[in-house]
Structure 1
Amino acid sequence: MKTNIVLHHSKSAGYSQEGWVKTLQSVLVQTGKDFEITILHDSDSDISAEIEALNTSAVAITVLKLQDEPQSVQLQKAFENSNADGHLYIDNRTQQVVLKKSALELLGLTVKNNKNVGMIYGDYELLENNEVKEIRLLKHHIGRVRDNQDYGKVFFFTAEALKNSEPVSADVQFNAIYDLRLKISEKFELLHIANRYAGSLYQVVAQSKAHNVFDYLLASKDSQLEAENILSGHLKRIGAYLEAGAHYTERPKAGSEATLKASVIIPVNNRPEFICDAIESVQAQTVKEVEVIVVVNGGENDPTVESVKAYQPGGEKYDASKPEVRLLIHDMNNLGLCFNSGARIARGEYYVQLDSDDRLTPDAVEKVLAVYNSDPKIGMVIGSYEVWEKDASGAITRMEQIPVVTHDEWTEENGRNNLLRINGAGAPRSIPIELIKEIGFSMNEEPFARNYGEDYQMVMKISERHRIGRVWDPIYKVIRHAGGTDHSIDQNTIDRNDEAKDFMRKERIQRRIKLNK
């Protein structure tokens, strides 16, 4: 099998010319010998001397001189320039990538053994501060539709898949590989080569940064809109796209036990130092027909229990003129259990979210109710929030570098489709209590579920049959602190969370295909 190996010589490279030479060297010494090389050259430097010095085996090397062309156009020209059976693309534009000597031979055998393969990607090593880390990627399935999913820096595309899939879109400026992999996945398999020990296909030399759940907020608007359009096209081609307004029905009527406007359900485990502020933010609501249901899931000995009892009759913070604080105690930390059991005893028409370490603004419930009152087909209301930080003294300050999180990528026309591309939908979320009783929160029965993503899954389910209403003003304060679940997160946790949500996406995409039929 003849292979066209494509790599960059880029003016945007974040490493030295010596590093680029190492990339080219790693290509030229491959044990698989039937290949040619295409270099996408968009810098002003002359690389002919380096090529001549390294190319002792007279490998056919083509240098395509390109200036200010997006990645999509560069790839299209590289593929069209060769009649090879496959293309091994190395995305070394900003990071040095070094192939293992046997990479091409392994890829060729993989293609031979898998007749419907369209793209192959594999685990890799990350060299950071002279330390090698093994990066293990997730295996592709129909639910892996996020644009920020890591598929690595090296990709093998079969010529057959490129020929028989939707073509690379030349107007794609930011998300060429995302566009290409989704298109290939519609007719061909995307195969992942896994590494257990010393089996990575290549090494990336880079300075990685700590994971931050708010990174997506800093992505350019143009890039976000482009990725949305790419996903929408993919969903349409596989029959999973939901047209604007399709399948909407009216939300269920409130039950006879709904004597209040809203029930704020707060699941909590061992956070006595936060729960008081959360409770008091509910009691300060402009709408007084509310209740607080605190569900402590650490058992009777959880210190949060005594903090909550202080707001009940006989407690030092009890005030009969304020909204009632009710208490449920479970001896197992299962968020689905907390939400479902809280909804079962709720006296409010609507559930309103509040995490134990966060706070509602005083007008939160008022603004949520106004949205519900605007349309009987609205089955969920999602607000906007600010991010605050709590220091060691207990003081909180607004994190000005993070803008108000509105999730304005949610549009009336396309929000529920675009939801599949991103990991969040906004906060706080509100759901009619009757709808919770009907659908029910997940209780970790799905693969990979570990008290993560159950609210995201509810958004996906409800949006198939009801409108999602939005409050664009900030009505919620997310408090970041050292003990928060988003403050410090390792790669294994990131992967486990991604597995959970991607499995949920898989289920919903398959459901939508059936729904459209």
Structure 2
Amino acid sequence: MTFFATNPHGLRLNRESLCCIARLFRLQRSGKSQSSKPSGGNCAMSKFVVLVPVSTLDSLARKTLEALKNQTFKDWACWLVDESSAKNVAGQLAEALGDDRIAVAPEGLTTLAKMMNRAIKDSGAEYAVPIPVGVLLNADALQKFDAHLESNPKCALVYSCYREVDASGKGTDVKVYQHEGAPHERFEFGFVKVYRLSAIQSVGGFREDLVHAAEYDMELKLADAMTLEAVDEVLYEAHADPTAVEESGEKKSGALHSPGKGKLGGFSYVFYPADLEKEITSVFEEMLRRRNAWIEHPTVPVKYPEKPYPVLATVVIPVFNRATFIGNALDRVLDGTYTEFEIVVVDNGSKDGTQDVVMEYVKKDPRVRLLCQTGPSISFALNCGIRAARGKYICQLDSDDEYKPETLEKMVGHMESHPNCGLAISYYELMDADRGELPEIPPVTHGGYTRNQILRRDGAGALRVFPKAVLEEMGLYDEENFGNFGEDYDMVLKTGEKYDVDRVHTVLYRYRRHSDNTDVTRDPLMKIQNKNNARLNAMARRKAINAKAGK
């Protein structure tokens, strides 16, 4: 499927100018003029302008445009943006389709930003719909998009669920979720976004200087004061180009059990090319400053109780039905180079013999304790472990992951030498279900982490080590709002608003990917909402911090 490059700016022509453009185009198509000046659809200003980049005369391009012609909502014009090397494909398609509403777009629209800005300037339309070849709109799609925008005047952008059709013809319905102010660049809109052009114009148009992040920049600007909304209905099909099938990427993403765009699924964003990361970082930070959610106040030292802790480190392991993995997790801690620790395993009602496995370790080593309970959530189990912990530092370990031999030695050493550190995080590497290496995936460093950039990332990394005093100060993990997902992310955000969040620049954690990972099996809507709520809550707190400081 062809996709748009991103980039954008614009003003609106009057009706007389638009009529002149339309007349020039009709002359060009009738052969009465060889002028290269473009058209922009017919003279009567249409409510929708649909922007379709085309590069070949293949059947998929024809199907895309035939679906447009079949719309029950007739008040539209289509600009064909010629991306072919010969620069004549758009004209041939327009001629073959024989519909005066389908015209060749002005020249020079090499990016989505330029397309959208020219649509503001020349189309006279209320709404713009860029779609790639391969998107076949349902007959009532424009009608339903129009109805939603008409009844929701604060909505600047609307999108919908869709049916994804692979090269073999197999279709799968794809659910999209409400945007609800999501500030990160990975939000899944699908392939069709309908923009209210007056909203784009009100924020100054698309930035044409951005190569990669113009669309993301516009989404953030629109969300400053307006809404981006989903129609909870399948309104189009997205057909894959059978000549452009990704081979290696699909295999890697599947092996990682991590749904998401890109060949590394949900991990793709941590390996952005430098130029892409730079632009996304820039527009995100501009948004934080616009919304007064950028923080730069100094951090403070952690206040520890005067009474000494019995041990320096407590490894807390919440577990549920992990008899296969829990023994390995315990072995890796016990075999490490550091000895001044305890392990608190909190079993949350396992039925597969997990408790029996752990009890064998309890009998052999007094540093291992088992707490059995049947609480409602992971956050509840973590909090039980933290309350029972005797260590100065709380070290996270999931029951299916593992430490490296030097993990605790290095992490405790860092905490002891950094008094402002409210959280230390190491690098991690991924392994398969059998502890095998995944050499095609580099270690995850979250190199772009800052106390501000964390708001657009899905996490801060692992291993995470907190002072117990900091977790207690923050009220422990939020069981009510982040019971089974996002509790750690929420805590990272809170901690970074007061204390240093330090990076320990060594791989000290191994993260196992398998089909029963809890982040794979959890409800996708709950995951999206919890992460988004954690971000929005953090932005509200940061605005309050700045307001209190007089900013």
- TM-score, normalised to structure 2's length? 0.81
Partner of 2:441: 402
Question: Which of 400, 418, 423 is matched with 1:380 structurally?
Answer: 423
Matching of residues 443-482 of structure 1 within 5 Å: 443-446=478-481, 449=482, 451-482=484-515
Deviations 1:264-312 (A, max 9, x none): 111111222322221122223333211111111116x652222222223
1:41 aligns with 2:94: no
Moved more, 374-383 or 40-49: 40-49
Report SS of the residue matched to 2:225: coil
- The answer to whether the Cα contact below 8 Å between 2:313 and 2:342 also exists between their aligned partners in 1 is yes
Report SS of the residue matched to 2:324: helix
5+ residue gaps, structure 1, are: none
CA 1:89–1:115 in 2, change beyond 3 Å: closer, same or farther? same
Partner of 2:381: 338
State the 1:117 CA deviation: 2.4
- The answer to whether the Cα contact below 8 Å between 1:6 and 1:78 also exists between their aligned partners in 2 is no
Q: What code does the residue aligned with 2:85 have? A: D
Report SS of the residue matched to 1:178: helix
CA RMSD of aligned residues (A): 2.4
Q: What code does the residue aligned with 2:436 have? A: T
Partner of 2:51: 7
- The answer to whether the Cα contact below 8 Å between 1:298 and 1:333 also exists between their aligned partners in 2 is no
State the 1:218 CA deviation: 4.1
Moved more, 273-282 or 78-87: 78-87
CA separation in 2, counterparts of 1:7 and 1:254? 63
Question: Which of 165, 172, 180 is matched with 1:133 structurally?
Answer: 172
CA 1:472–1:181 in 2, change beyond 3 Å: closer, same or farther? same
State the 1:116 CA deviation: 2.4
Report SS of the residue matched to 2:295: coil
1:64 aligns with 2:106: yes
Partner of 2:239: 205
State the 1:463 CA deviation: 0.9
Partner of 2:65: 24
Partner of 2:340: 289
Partner of 2:469: 434
Aligned residues: 481
Moved more, 460-469 or 331-340: 331-340
Partner of 1:165: 203
Moved more, 472-481 or 422-431: 472-481
State the 1:127 CA deviation: 2.0
- The answer to whether the Cα contact below 8 Å between 1:41 and 1:66 also exists between their aligned partners in 2 is no
CA separation in 2, counterparts of 1:390 and 1:121? 37
Question: Which of 316, 326, 334 is matched with 1:275 structurally?
Answer: 326
CA 1:374–1:72 in 2, change beyond 3 Å: closer, same or farther? farther
- The answer to whether the Cα contact below 8 Å between 2:156 and 2:195 also exists between their aligned partners in 1 is yes
- The answer to whether the Cα contact below 8 Å between 1:71 and 1:174 also exists between their aligned partners in 2 is no
Report SS of the residue matched to 1:416: coil
CA separation in 2, counterparts of 1:471 and 1:325? 26
Deviations 1:425-464 (A, max 9, x none): 1001011111112223435412xx4511111111111111
State the 1:133 CA deviation: 2.5
Partner of 1:232: 285
1:263 aligns with 2:304: no
CA 1:271–1:109 in 2, change beyond 3 Å: closer, same or farther? closer
Matching of residues 78-117 of structure 1 within 5 Å: 78-90=119-131, 92=132, 96-117=134-155
Deviations 1:393-436 (A, max 9, x none): xxx321101101111111xxxx1222121212100101111111
Deviations 1:5-48 (A, max 9, x none): 2323345x8xx721111112222332323322222222224222
Partner of 2:276: 223
- The answer to whether the Cα contact below 8 Å between 2:326 and 2:399 also exists between their aligned partners in 1 is yes
Q: What code does the residue aligned with 2:50 have? A: V
Moved more, 112-121 or 229-238: 112-121
- The answer to whether the Cα contact below 8 Å between 2:429 and 2:443 also exists between their aligned partners in 1 is yes
Partner of 2:231: 193
1:310 aligns with 2:348: no
State the 1:60 CA deviation: 5.7
CA separation in 2, counterparts of 1:287 and 1:387? 23
CA separation in 1, counterparts of 2:223 and 2:427? 34
State the 1:263 CA deviation: 0.5
1:249 aligns with 2:300: yes
CA 1:109–1:286 in 2, change beyond 3 Å: closer, same or farther? same
1:327 aligns with 2:387: no
Question: Which of 440, 443, 457 is matched with 1:422 structurally?
Answer: 457
Q: What code does the residue aligned with 1:85 have? A: E
State the 1:333 CA deviation: 5.3
Moved more, 153-162 or 205-214: 205-214
CA 1:374–1:168 in 2, change beyond 3 Å: closer, same or farther? farther
Deviations 1:104-148 (A, max 9, x none): 222233332222222122222222343332222111222x11211
Report SS of the residue matched to 1:476: strand
CA separation in 2, counterparts of 1:514 and 1:167? 30
Identity among equivalent positions (%) equals: 28
Partner of 1:510: 540
Moved more, 126-135 or 469-478: 126-135
Q: What code does the residue aligned with 1:431 have? A: F
Report SS of the residue matched to 1:262: strand
CA 1:255–1:124 in 2, change beyond 3 Å: closer, same or farther? farther
- TM-score, normalised to structure 1's length? 0.86
CA 1:110–1:334 in 2, change beyond 3 Å: closer, same or farther? closer
Deviations 1:344-384 (A, max 9, x none): 12111100111111111122122223332443221101111
Partner of 1:154: 192
CA separation in 1, counterparts of 2:383 and 2:204? 44
Q: What code does the residue aligned with 1:5 have? A: V
CA 1:141–1:372 in 2, change beyond 3 Å: closer, same or farther? same
CA separation in 2, counterparts of 1:159 and 1:501? 30
CA separation in 1, counterparts of 2:515 and 2:201? 51
Deviations 1:239-286 (A, max 9, x none): 11223xx15222221462512111111111122232222112222333
Report SS of the residue matched to 2:441: coil
Q: What code does the residue aligned with 1:476 have? A: Y
